[in-house]
Amino acid sequence: MPMLTRRAFLSAAGSAALAAPAILRAQSGGFTAFPFSLGVAAGDPSPDGFVIWTRLAPDPLEAHGGMAMAPVAVTWELATDEAMRTIVRKGEEKARAELAHSVHVELAGLEPDRPYWYRFRSGGQKSVIGRARTLPAAGSSPRALRFGVAGCQHYEDGFYTAFRHLADEDLAFVFHYGDYIYEGWAKGIETAHSGEIVTPVRRHVGQTCFDLADYRRRYAQYKADPDLQRAHALQTWFATFDDHEVRDNWAGDHDPTDTPPELFRTRRAAAFQAWYEHMPVRRSLFPRGAAIDAYRNARYGDLVSFDFLDTRQYRSGYQCGDDFAPPCAKLDDPSATMISAGEEAWLVRNLTRPQARWSCVAQQVMMMALDRRTDPGPSPILNMDSWAGYEAPRRRLLSRMRGLDNVVVLTGDEHQNFAGLLVDRDRPVAVEFVASSISSGGDGSDKRRGSDVILRNNPELKFINDQRGYHVCEVTPDAWRSDVMVLDRVSTPGAPIRRRATLTVPHGRPDLAVA
């Protein structure tokens, strides 16, 4: 299967536009500064198209991004070559104040399984040139797929060096599992898992996000990062959200501080609008107040079928709290929900009808119910913010995976790398890979204190690591291989990337080899 080249994308505005996007100045066209300071992005690929995105923001941290409250014309071009000589599509969109002057262009009718290049223009200024790729045709039989998995990018915890490395990987796309922003105010000095005292590497601007202006400003601060911009410009993303895009550990209409549901929904509506404004997603994900139809699927020919879940909007309230805790009496509540009834029926239908050689469930929180004790104790400790806190729907879903022998679950949220087996009534039914964070949790180490105890207490768990980075998955008809890519530090920029482990699943057998 032809893959993307590793050549750097071209910058029509000059290389400095990516290195220091908020500093470049342009006096023509009515802009007082470079309007494409937040870069470009592409996402939600299909065999015949994808979405291309940008947002006009000459002064991204100021009110309205430094834009007047009026629509502005933005033209776009799509080419089959990176020098933008062969233009195959072009058009004009209005960047509107109601959506923070963001632009989403849904492209269709393109050739399958090939790269395209795109850029935007407004007020006499040109964006950098981005690159996107379509998926193979629905009836095709690709020999291999290579894609990335990343997320959890706390701005204050470290630099986005991992994104710079991810940008240069030869990938069909990137699955981002969420926690694109963190909603809290600026951190103070904290104690890390290692016991060391750590100081934030960078600082959030503004207080905790509650209204639309707060969330827009937070996204602008994150998206101004040059390494994140590079990863967006060079890779095509499937973006989902987890909790920090709204509020830490939210579940349905509930947050951990017992905010009245009707008030929490106003905050969630603001957060969802800002998420949509800043993500390269399709119009079908346009928020309806405090709701988004976020779960969706995609197919990579007949090789892999992907189901992207939403594990936040339709959760019931926490059964045993939202932290690490021993099981309580309500843990097995049969009425508890992790996903909606409609989403569950949709997922089961997709898993149980033959669509592709592999079925991938791409979602946010760990499905393995690990005992998290790191010291002797009378009772297991579970992460109640994961599927382990919703045992009835977890068991129900695992029972539907029984006998399929082709399911791989991709997860984030934990700020660690995990790999293990998903077990239904003492029988492995699937494999789960949990990708560590881009920066959340700081530098980390090979293993946290107590990791060996967790491995001993959980025979289904085969691998654990506490370093920052991402996963690269390479899938063939016969095997699924995930490379765990890690950095030794994120507290300073420029760390090299290396492969910490290779995790392999043979087709037709829920088993896992670690090398």
- Is pLDDT at 9 greater than 70 in this prediction? no
pLDDT, position 12:
39
Taking alpha carbons only, the member of 444, 455, 452 closest to residue 488 is 444
Q: H-helix or E-strand containing 219? A: helix 212-223
310, 343 Cβ separation under 8 angstroms: yes
pLDDT, position 2:
37
* Rounded-to-integer distance, Cα 103 and Cα 73, Å: 10
Q: pLDDT band at residue 17, thresholds of 50, 70 and 90? A: very low
The tokens for 281 are 């997603």
Considering the domain 1-134 in this protein, what is its CATH number? 2.60.40.380
CATH topology of domain 135-514: Purple Acid Phosphatase; chain A, domain 2 (3.60.21)
Q: In the predicted model, what is the mean pLDDT of residues 12-39?
A: 57
Q: Do domains 1-134 and 135-514 have the same CATH topology?
A: no
* Rounded-to-integer distance, Cα 374 and Cα 390, Å: 22
pLDDT, position 196:
76
Q: Give the E-state strand segments of 189-295 in sequence order.
A: 190-191, 197-198, 236-239
Q: pLDDT band at residue 25, thresholds of 50, 70 and 90? A: very low
Report how far apart, in Å, the C-alpha atoms of 271 and of each of 211, 222, 292 are: 7, 15, 11
* Rounded-to-integer distance, Cα 126 and Cα 120, Å: 6
Query: Picking from 69-78, 194-203, 503-512, which range would have the lowest pLDDT averaged per residue?
Result: 194-203
* Rounded-to-integer distance, Cα 476 and Cα 301, Å: 12
Backbone angles phi, psi at 110, to 5 degrees: -90, 170
440, 160 Cβ separation under 8 angstroms: no
Taking alpha carbons only, the member of 450, 479, 111, 184 closest to residue 303 is 479
348, 401 Cβ separation under 8 angstroms: no
The verdict on pTM exceeding 0.85 is yes
* Rounded-to-integer distance, Cα 510 and Cα 423, Å: 9
* Rounded-to-integer distance, Cα 393 and Cα 362, Å: 17
**108-166 pLDDT per residue, tens:** 999 999 999 999 999 999 999 999 999 999 999 999 999 999 999 999 999 999 999 99
Q: Is 513 helix (H, G, I), strand (E, B) or coil?
A: strand
pLDDT, position 512:
97
The residues near 466 (Cβ < 8 Å, ≥ 6 apart) are 193, 415, 416, 417, 436, 441, 444, 445, 446, 447, 448, 451
**280-302 pLDDT per residue, tens:** 999 999 999 999 999 999 999 99
**412-435 pLDDT per residue, tens:** 999 999 999 999 999 999 999 999
Domain definitions of the chain by residue range: 1-134, 135-514
The residues near 481 (Cβ < 8 Å, ≥ 6 apart) are 473, 474, 475, 502, 503, 504, 505
Instruction: HSE, CB side, 13 Å, CA atoms: give it for residue 20.
Output: 5
